[in-house]
Structure 1
Amino acid sequence: MGQQSPTRIGFTGDVMLGRLVDTRQRTRRRAPDAVWGSVSDQLRELDGLVINLECCLSTRGRQWQRTYRPFHFRADPDWAIPALESVGVDVCALANNHVLDYETIALRDTLATLDEAGIAHAGAGETIDEALEPAVRSIGDCEIAVVSFTDNTPEYAADEETPGTAWIEIDVGDEETKRRVREALDRARRSNPDLLVASLHWGPNMVTEPSASFREFGRWLVEEGVDLVHGHSAHVFHGIELHDGRPIVYDAGDFVDDYAVDPELQNDRSFLFVLSVTDVGEPVELRLVPTEISECTVSTASAEAATWARQRMRSLSARYGTTFEQDGADLVLELDTG
């Protein structure tokens, strides 16, 4: 009997479906899947898809005013849920700095509409206990468990009685952080997953590399049994480090949004990160498919944008000793997990 084909699971950076993205979809009556542009077929061909959902899904609520917040992101679930379903989104990481932008009622709508659609989520809930629960899905031959944390916007943090996010300090010396993360990982392991993912919305915007404390934290997560660190928040992608054969994607950049583009940092350019996993749960390859955002739509990167992204990723990752092969427009990272 031949060996089964690997299970291919996609990971994206920020998927922000609010503000102008939402307005464009509704006022122009675009099909729900239009937001995925020329990448839609590649997304559908994956066995699974994990995203950071950088907005709430609701038409209710009022903008958070309890503390100063310059931006508020909300998408109408009538088109946003069909859009997520159209490309087979399996898991949404919700521990971020926008899921409470329209207060508790919109957070509750987000949780309810994802549940109704059968899209798993992690990182936010009615209480911190719920926010620590993993998202668990069977994808192909792979059982995947995702935990989700953020160090952004502490006022959005859940506690024993208050809805919100799974908020932590990114500090391996912080005992409360280690206790909370280990609790979430222990819960995730109860499902006996083949793949354990930590999805982290961490750090400030528009920084080009992780801090030393973030690198230490990412390596600690791998040592705690995480198979993939899925980072996001900076709006620009960072380099990738391998630790004990496991990839640490420090930041996946942006995948869909309406943000102004910095001409130097090129925050409209990133990748779809595709992890291949064997039938015995071993990650064997991480493929980086270049993408770019234009007119509130993600697309396959142009030749010029793809070249820029590959060169930048190689440069950023070289400092960690990470090297890639090239396959067409894609970068390929072979994972030696033996």
Structure 2
Amino acid sequence: MGGDGGVLTLFLAGDVMLGRGIDQILPHPGDPALPEAYVTDARTYVELAETANGTIPRGAPFSWPWGEALGLLDEAAPDARILNLETSVTQSDDIAPGKSVHYRMHPANLPCLAAARPDACALANNHVLDYGRGGLAETLDSLAAAGLRTAGAGRDLAEARRPAALPLSGERRLLVFSLGMASSGIPRTWAAGADRSGIDFVDEASDAAAAEVADRVRRAKRSGDLVVVSIHWGSNWGHSVPGDQVRFAHALVDGGADVVHGHSSHHPRPFEVYRGHPVLYGCGDLIDDYEGIGGHDRYRDDLRLLYFLSLEPDTGRLDHARLVPLQAHRMRLRHASREDSAWLHEVLARTSRTFGTHITRDPEGTFTVRAG
């Protein structure tokens, strides 16, 4: 892995939800039965998307959901690719009780995830145990067999808390921690224990919890290492950021984290540069099966962002960030129109201004954040 040039560029993505409707259009669809109150067949989500935007192929290529994002990733050539994988990878039928939505993808469809060549998948989220601890074990085994690194979930607490370690130039590493909070809908029973599988669970964004995570970062971080802390937190909708999340993120940076990678909201939330380090409070969904589902149209959750963060390799501080707007259409990512790009820029720039962040938009539609 790189990192020996003028900057170290990371690609960060929000929620990648390859289960349910997405799984049904891929070459190896799993059982479409769903334990949902209103939708009992995952193929219904495909039909909703087709009603909204047109026909979607069945048995689509594994690259289909990524669409034009793959070319943009190759063009940017980031040194590391990190995303939140918000689905179980299993054929288990052990349905988690008390949840209204369940996500799983067939293990044979993992080439879809591999198409984006992620270097680390954050797993501490509210869907990775949707099909029980047996489903989690199959998820971990499937990802490991595919050569995909993970963080945030494990067969015990030690494994769940172990960061993914990505090699950089020399003896340096990029460490990726993943943790999930109750505020995102994660059941407390999903917490990993000394002899219990689960996720790296944080009950609340308290000062004490931040100090504990920061202490783990300091103990793991060697001279020259950089650290990303990936956090699944907060509600699905809305642009405001609770004060406890802001304090938590700041405490992590103060404690040695170089990037705070937040997700859970279905649309992008503000971007902050705190003490020179990027804090993404919510990256929004990247891939999901929500086309044709109404109710929150004002948030335009069909618009997505690719986050490319270029860091100073010696300090981990932000040199600049490029944000590329895309749109989900027929369960595939395509470039956002000029009008949609302008709309998303206005919202993100306005909500980020509260944090002192200035976001510009170039004629091609790409957004830029400068460190100063």
| TM-score, normalized by the shorter chain, greater than 0.5 | yes
- Could you tell me which amino acid in structure 2 is paired with residue 90 of structure 1? D
Q: Secondary structure at the match of 2:175?
A: strand
Q: Distance in 1 between matches of 2:335 and 2:13?
A: 14
CA distance in 2, matches of 1:244, 1:90: 27
Equivalent residue letter for 1:333: V
Displacement of 1:204 after TM fit? 1.7
Match of 2:225 in 1: 194
Q: 1:4 to 1:178 in 2, by over 3 A?
A: closer
* Counterpart position of 1:333: 369
2:235 alignment partner, SS class: coil
Q: CA deviation at 1:281?
A: 5.3
Aligned to 1:290: 325
- Residues 130, 31 of structure 1: CA spacing in aligned structure 2 closer, same or farther, 3 A cutoff? same
In the alignment, is residue 131 of structure 1 matched against residue 160 of structure 2? yes
Q: Within 2, Cα distance between the matches of 1:139 and 1:128?
A: 27
C-alpha distance in 1 between matches for 2:66 and 2:194: 38
Q: Report the alpha carbon displacement of residue 311 of structure 1 after superposing the two structures with TM.
A: 0.8
Alpha-carbon distance in structure 2 between the residues aligned to 1:151 and 1:238: 17
Give the drift of 1:330: 0.9
Residue 183 of structure 1: CA displacement?
4.6
In structure 1, C-alpha distance between the alignment counterparts of 2:240 and 2:336, rounded to whole Å: 22
User: Shift of the alpha carbon at 1:314?
Assistant: 0.5
| Matches for 1:220-239 after TM superposition, within 5 Å | 220-239=251-270
Q: Is the 2:214–2:257 Cα contact (8 Å) retained in structure 1?
A: no
2:175 paired residue number: 145
Q: Does the Cα contact within 8 Å between 1:92 and 1:121 map onto a contact in 2?
A: yes
1:44 aligned residue (56, 74, 88): 74
Residues 36-45 or 8-17, more deviating? 36-45
Quote the residue 2:216 is aligned against: 184
Q: Over aligned residue pairs, what C-alpha RMSD do you find? A: 2.0
Q: Secondary structure at the match of 2:121?
A: strand
Q: What SS is found at the alignment partner of 1:226? A: coil
The alpha carbon displacement at 1:185 in A equals 1.1
User: Does residue 106 of structure 2 align to residue 76 of structure 1?
Assistant: yes
Deviations 1:138-189 (CA, angstroms, capped at 9, x unpaired):
257873111011113222111112111111133333x3x2454135313531
1:311 aligns to what?
Answer: 346
CA distance in 2, matches of 1:287, 1:148: 23
Residue matched to 2:34: none
1:261-272 maps to which residues of 2 (within 5 A)? 261=294, 262-272=296-306
Structure 2: gaps of 5 or more residues: 30-57
Deviation (angstroms), 1:221? 1.0
Shift in Å, 1:272: 0.5
Alpha-carbon displacement from aligned partner over 1:287-308 (angstroms, at most 9, x marks no partner): 1111222222222212222111
Cα distance in 1 for partners of 2:271, 2:210 equals 23
1:86 aligned onto 2:115:
yes
Amino acid in structure 2 at the alignment position of 1:33:
S
Tell me the distance in 2 between the aligned counterparts of 1:297 and 1:34. Answer: 6
Equivalent residues, number: 328
Query: Residues 44 and 109 from structure 1, CA distance in 2 versus in 1: closer, same or farther, beyond 3 angstroms?
Result: farther
CA distance in 1, matches of 2:275, 2:327: 31
Equivalent in the alignment of 1:53: 85
Alpha-carbon distance between aligned partners in 1 of 2:324 and 2:253, rounded to the nearest angstrom: 24
- Please point out which of 262, 269, 277 is paired with 2:311: 277
> C-alpha displacement at 1:220, in angstroms?
0.9
Per-residue CA shift, 1:37-67, capped at 9, x if unaligned? 11111123433210000101112242112xx
- Letter aligned with residue 128 of structure 1: L
C-alpha offsets along residues 55-113 of structure 1, whole Å, 9 cap, x if unaligned?
01112242112xx1000000112122x12222211110000000000111111111112
Q: Aligned partners of 1:131, 1:183: CA distance in 2, in Å?
A: 16
Supply the AA of the counterpart residue of 1:11.
L
TM-score, normalized by length of structure 2? 0.83
Q: Secondary structure of 2:67's partner?
A: helix
Say if 2:191 is the partner of 1:162: no
Q: Identify the range of structure 1 (306-315 vs 291-300) with the bigger mean alpha-carbon deviation.
A: 291-300
1:258-287: CA deviation from partner (whole Å, max 9, x where unpaired)? 122521011121311101134535431111
Shift of 1:5: 4.8
Letter in 1 for 2:236: N
Q: Which amino acid aligns with 2:109?
A: W
- Please give the alpha-carbon distance, in whole angstroms, between the structure 2 residues aligned to 1:126 and 1:187: 22
Q: Which residue of 2 aligns with 1:214?
A: 245
Task: Check conservation: 2:218, 2:256, Cα contact below 8 A.
Answer: no
Residues 1:111 and 2:140 aligned together: yes
Shift of the 269–140 alpha-carbon distance from structure 1 to 2, 3 Å rule, reads farther
> 240-249 vs 279-288, which deviates more?
279-288
Q: In 1, distance between residues paired with 2:327 and 2:160?
A: 31
Question: Which of 255, 262, 270 is the aligned partner of 2:286?
Answer: 255
Partner of 1:30: 60
